[in-house]
Structure formats: structure tokens, C-alpha cells
Amino acid sequence: MTTKNEQQVANKPSKQVEEVGKWWLTMSAAAAQLTSLDEVRDFGENWEALTAEPGGVDYIETDAGGVPAMWAVPKGCAEDRVILCLHGGGFFSGSMYTHRKLYAHFAKAIGCRALIPHYRRSPEHVHPAQVNDTVAAYQWLLDQGIQAKHIAITGDSAGGGLAITAALLIRDKGLPMPAAIMPLSAWFDMEVTGESMELNNEKDLLLNKEWVKSMAGMFLGENGSPKDPYANPLYGDLTGFPPIYMHVGDDEVLLDDSLRLAELAKKAGVDVSLDIFPGMQHSFQMTAGRAPEADDSINRFTAWVKPKLGLA
């Protein structure tokens, strides 16, 4: 069943979460001035400054089936439960380093380990490199003895879309499905057709239609199709999927991506829920540990997923 639960907060976002909007404005201005992709990526590594250090978490780099990755391991956590965490960044930026603290907050709240793959990025590596890397990391977890019913997949922005497309490929390869999927501010539509692209154009401080089209082009490359369900799950059949719980801000140009994915999942008989957060910008959860709205989002995910992982 699809539900749309709006967070009851004051009309004005907290000062802490306003830093997300300021960062997006800074990022947009910098992207217009920087002359190379490496410079943009390097600047983007400062993204992690939005997130408070959770404390009590060890970070361990590893090789996850040929994919560079990082473990976030909270003290005293259940090591046989894992959240597979897929970072955002439009497929061309972001890393396991920019998102280590965000997903450490998730892991610490849930009481499990988090594995953050550093999947290959576009335009050097186009689709399906990213979904293949994610499934390779998932297979590696299974090979390590982690049961599928003890794995949840989450991701923000491009990583949120990847959480769904990876699950499609996992299912179609005949692998056991994870216990749950939790996309945040997810990007699904490679055709960039959502009504919110126009309606929220003045509200979203980072993304706009042309930028999203540009990122889609880098991701798909010359031969990729925007209708490929392993790239654009809005063309996928979600039959047999585990429960899905999504969060999105209502100021995002990507708002309709989550609304349409929720309807698609509902039609396939999937247990799906969607919370829409008023006044929130793209990936506002990056202010975890500082902004009450981000912590509220993580707490909602935690309460939802712990029973599904057998931790409640």
C-alpha cells in the first residue's frame, strides 16, 4: 500500500537543514566555474562536511567482490545484519568517503554494519557498470555468509535509483532478494519527464531539468537507452520485490520520481510506503546528527527496517 505521510514541522526549516540548500547553491556555482570533471569531483568531496561524525563507529576499507568498498561498523552492532548503502552524486561524483558518515548514522541507529561500495562512475564507466558493481557487492555479502533476509539496500539520489535497479538485476539473476529497500530523494527517470521538474524548478536549489538530462547522458553513454529498466526502473516490473520505504522532499524536482515508483510498486503488489517532507531539499538527510529533520528521517527508516532485519 502506498502512503504519503507529511512530516508535521514548522513552515521554516531548521537552521541546520538550511545548510543543505546553501551547499547546493555553492556546488552549483562552483560547477559553473570549475574547468574539469576531476575538479568538480574534488570539490564535491567537501559534501561530507554537512554530516556530523556519529562517533563510536569504525571505518574499514575492503574489497567487496572486486568493488572497492567501506565498512561502517558501530560498536557492539549485530555483525550478521548489513545495510548495503549506495551513495549519490549523479553517478559521476560522490564516493564512499562523502557518504561514510551519513550511512554510519543509519548503521548506528539500526544496530548493524553498513557496506558502502565505491561503484564505478560515469562518464568513464557508463551503464551498466554501476548496477553490475552493486550486484557484485551484494553477491559478495552472500558469499560472506550474510543471509539475504538480513540485508537491506538503501541509497540517496542516484544511489536511490540504483537500489531499485540492483534489486531488479538481483531478482533476474535468481539471487535471493534482500529484506527491504530504502531509497532517499531517489532519481529513477532517465527520460526526465516528471511534472515536478517544472513545478519545483524554482524551489530546488541544486537540480534542474537540463542538469538532470546532462547527468543521464553521461550515465547512459552513446548506446544506452533511457527506457532500459536496469537504468530506469520506471520501465521495470517490480513483481516479487521486498517492502520499499521512500523519503523525498516536496521541494525537489525529483519528487515525481518517487511518486511514480510508488505507484508502479503498488500495481506490482509490493508493500510500498512514501513519506514526503515539506520544505526539504534534495538529500536533506546529509545533515544527519545536526538537523532534526534529517534525524527524524533516519529514525523513521530505523523503526521500519529493524523488524524486517530481525533486530526488533
> Which residues have a catalytic role annotated?
157, 252, 282
φ and ψ of 223, to 5 deg: -105, 0
CB distance 176 to 245 below 8 Å = no
Which cell is 143 given? Answer: 558469499
Cα separations in angstroms, 265 against 168, 230, 275: 12, 15, 15
User: Which residue in 217, 206, 212, 214 sits closest to 193, CA to CA?
Assistant: 212
CB distance 85 to 138 below 8 Å = no
Query: Distance (Å, rounded) from C-alpha 146 to C-alpha 149?
Result: 8
Cα separations in angstroms, 292 against 13, 40, 48, 186, 223: 9, 29, 18, 21, 43
